[in-house]
Amino acid sequence: MPEVKLTEEYGFCFGVKRALEIARRSLREGKKFDSLGPIIHNEYVVDELKKEGVEVIDSIEESKKNLVLIRTHGVPPEIYERAKSLGKELIDCTCPFVSNAQKWAKKFYEEGYVVIVVGKKDHPEVVGIVGHTEGKAIVVSSSQELDVNLIRNKKVGVVAQTTSRLDMIQDVMDRLVEEASEVRFANTRCNTTQKRQEQVERLSKEVDVMVIVGGKNSSNTRRLYEIASKNCKKAYLVSSPDEISGDWFYNVNSIGVSGGASTPPEMVEEVYEKIKNLLGGGGYGGGKVDARQ
């Protein structure tokens, strides 16, 4: 029977666990609040909190409650000011790793550096980081996006979106070193992201099929999927065990499973168990799994 392997770490990261603990504790204390954007990119968790009265809002003005939760991605400073002027209090669940990236971007900006953020322009975490430079930071996801005129012979300070891949950062740094007069880099990637990416990198090189579990709009989950796809011809991204097809495991020797930082660990384990059951049970969706190996 094909072997099914889990990465050493999977499921909720430190920042997400912390945010959910704060949210659940606040609910237990009888606090009523809304969440500015989904607390994490996972529909199951968002639905669970919705049942407890936590609505997802797009702007702080939308909430009729006096308390609003800031999620792990963080927000630009203007949100704190708007909340204050509206008389609302915040439950701040910004992940400490994200706060660190915001702090470095602000520091570089105040010291007169051109601030470069390596990441995805529209990602809420990046929007928050850029806000800490009065909107002046330049966001790039590759060296091709760098406008040489803005960096040539300039002092440049670089921070990374916490979930950035190392090769993306390296690509941007190589170009900056060629053009800028000074380059400073604050390593604001989070350890969790780095470790999980390395584990997925290793496992996806070993196995025939790699299954990543998590929300399809979750940035860190998608990064794991990108890494898995690069190393493994058959890589799949699923948000629940229901999306697994027995066809994926036909005639394979080994299968790897991992999950993003916003995925409940039980969900990853359910996917793992389902694959094992499919293989052990001799098939799924018409008995197409080859369990003879």
Instruction: List residues forming the annotated binding site.
Output: 13, 41, 73, 95, 123, 162, 190, 218-220, 262
Size of the site for ligand SF4 (CB under 6 A): 14
| Residue 36 vs 180, nearer CB to ligand SF4 | 36
Q: Other CB atoms closer than 10 Å to residue 109's CB: what's the count?
A: 18
- Interface residue with ligand SF4, options 7, 11, 13, 223 (CB under 6 A): 13
Dist. CA 218–CA 263, nearest whole Å: 9
The beta-strand segments (E) located in the chain are: 3-6, 33-36, 56-57, 67-70, 89-92, 114-118, 138-140, 155-160, 182-186, 209-213, 234-238, 254-259
**DSSP assigned state of 73:** T
Q: Does 26 bind ligand SF4 (CB under 6 A)?
A: no
Q: Does 192 bind ligand SF4 (CB under 6 A)?
A: yes
Closest to 210 (Cα-Cα) out of 169, 242, 253, 176:
253
- Interface residue with ligand SF4, options 4, 7, 11, 16 (CB under 6 A): 16
DSSP string, 104-123: HHHHHHHTTPEEEEES-TT-
Q: Which two structure tokens, joined as six digits, stand for 100?
A: 């660190």
**Can you tell me whether residue 147 is helix, strand or coil?**
coil
| Residue 213 vs 278, nearer CB to ligand SF4 | 213
For residue 290, the number of C-alpha atoms closer than 13 Å in the C-beta half-sphere is 9
Active-site residue, 134 included:
no
Smallest gap from Cβ 49 to ligand SF4, in A, equals: 17
Instruction: Choose the catalytic residue: 3, 81, 89, 125.
Output: 125
Smallest gap from Cβ 282 to ligand SF4, in A, equals: 38
Binding residues for ligand SF4 restricted to 120-159, rule: CB under 6 A: none
Q: Does 39 bind ligand SF4 (CB under 6 A)?
A: no
φ, ψ (nearest 5 deg) of residue 150: -85, -10
Closest to 112 (Cα-Cα) out of 77, 156, 147:
156
Smallest gap from Cβ 125 to ligand SF4, in A, equals: 8
- Interface residue with ligand SF4, options 54, 190, 210, 235 (CB under 6 A): 190
Measured at CB, which residue is nearest to ligand SF4?
15
Q: Does 42 bind ligand SF4 (CB under 6 A)?
A: no
Question: Which residues are catalytically annotated?
Answer: 125
| Binding footprint of ligand SF4 on the chain (CB under 6 A) | 13-16, 72, 95, 97-98, 162, 190, 192-193, 220, 261
